[in-house]
Copies of this chain bind each other. A is one copy, B any other.
C-alpha cells in the first residue's frame, strides 16, 4: 500500500500535543492534508508537497486569545496608569467616538493580527465596532477568529442609531457563517452597565436563534456591583441570571469580582470565562478567582484584552502572568501550574469559544493550527520541562513559524500574508491624527456612560 501523500509535513521537533493525555512526542512528524492534521507520530517518513523542519524546536498548538479588541492597537500607550472608569470615560470612549471608523477598524485589526501571528496566536476572539471589517482583516490574513459584533446602549461609532444594530447584526451573522471554521460570528454585549436589560435579552435571543456565542464583560471592576445593584436591585451575576442570558454559550469576560456563589452558578449553568490578567492588573480592576473556577470545572481561557490596556497582544506574557499572579496573591506556588496555564491558552481556550472539536490541541482530525518555538536561544537553554519553558521562559518573539488551517502564515519571523511595513505605516498615520487632537478631545468631551 503506498504511503499517503500530505500537503504539508512538520518534522524535526518535540511535539507538545495538549491532548487529553498530554502526550509529548519526541522526533515528531505531523502530516497535514486539506488544512487538517491527518497523521501524528514519531520517526515517520511521510511524503508531502512541503516540509517544514522545526529545527529541534517545540511544536505546539497555536495559542487562543479568548478576548481582545483588535483595533485598539491604535490607542496603545495613549493613556496609562489611570483608573478603569477614568480611562474609559475620559480617554477611550471619547477617542473611539472621534476616531473609530471602517478604515481604522480594518487597519488596526490588520496590525493587531500581524502582532498576534508573530507572537504565536492562531485564533482570537474579538469584540468591537465595525466587526465586519475586523472579520475581513482576519480572513485576508488567514487568521482564525471568533468575530463578535458589539452592542451597547449608547450611540456607537458604527451604529449611531441603536435601532439599526439588530438588523445589522443579523446581516453580520449571515455574511460570516459561511466562512466557518476560519471566521465564527458571535455577539458581544459590552457590559451590564452599558447595555439595558432589553438589549442583553434581545441579543441573547438572537444569538440563541443563530446558534452562536454570546459574550459580555462582567465584573471587571468592583464599582460595577453597586451600580448594577442600585439600578436593578440585583448584583451583576444575579442580574444576568435573572434575565436568562447565562448558559453554556455565554462567555463572561474578566469576572474579577465573582463570589464563590457566582462561581457555583457558572459551574451549574456551564458559563465560560475569559481571564485577562495583564489588562485587569494594569487597570487595577481586580483579580479573578481563577484557581477556584478551575477547581469547579469551569472552562477558563486566557485573553489579552485590547492593546490599550495591556499594552501588547502577546499570549506568552499572559501565560507567565496568570501563572505568577495567582501564586503570589494566594501565597500558594502550586496553583496555576505551567501545564494548567498552557491548557488555558490552548485547549481550554478552545472550550471557552466552543471550538474544542476543531482546535486547541494537535491531534488527528483537528484543524492544523500549529506554532514552532525556536529553542536555540540562551533564555530557552537548557530544556528540562517543555511546559515550564513555554510558560515561564518563552516569549512571543521565540515563535519561528505559525501555521493556521494548514497554511503557513509566518516562517522565520517573516509574515507571509501581511505587508507589515504597510500595516505599521497605516496605523502610524491614524495615530498621528489621534495624537494631534488628543489633548483637546480628552479635556472637552468626556462621554460618561457610568452616569446615564
Contacts and interface: CB of A to CB of B under 8 A. Distances in A.
Interface in A313-335: 313-314, 317, 320-321, 323-325, 327-334
**How many copies, total?**
2
A171 interface: no
Contact of A428 (B84, B333, B381, B385): B381
B114 A334 contact: no
Contacts of A114: 378
Interface stretch (A30-38, A71-79, A147-155, A346-354): A71-79
A446 B78 CA distance: 52
Contacts of A74: 382
A226 to B, nearest CB: 15
B431 A284 contact: no
A201 to B, nearest CB: 32
Interface stretch (A185-193, A203-211, A359-367, A386-394): A386-394
B328 A389 contact: no
Interface residues of A, number: 76
Nearest to A376: B424
A428 B382 contact: yes
A186 B335 CA distance: 37
A281 interface: yes
A213 B93 CA distance: 51
B328 A281 contact: yes
A311 B80 contact: no
Contacts of A328: 280-281, 284, 286-287, 325, 329
Contacts of A376: 424
B80 A385 contact: yes
A175 interface: no
B427 A334 contact: no
A310 to B, nearest CB: 7
A333 B381 contact: no
A84 B154 CA distance: 50
B393 A396 contact: no
Top 3 A-B residue pairs of the complex, sorted by shortest distance between their CB atoms: A382-B431, A397-B397, A281-B324
5 contacts: A83-B334, A281-B327, A282-B327, A283-B327, A378-B423
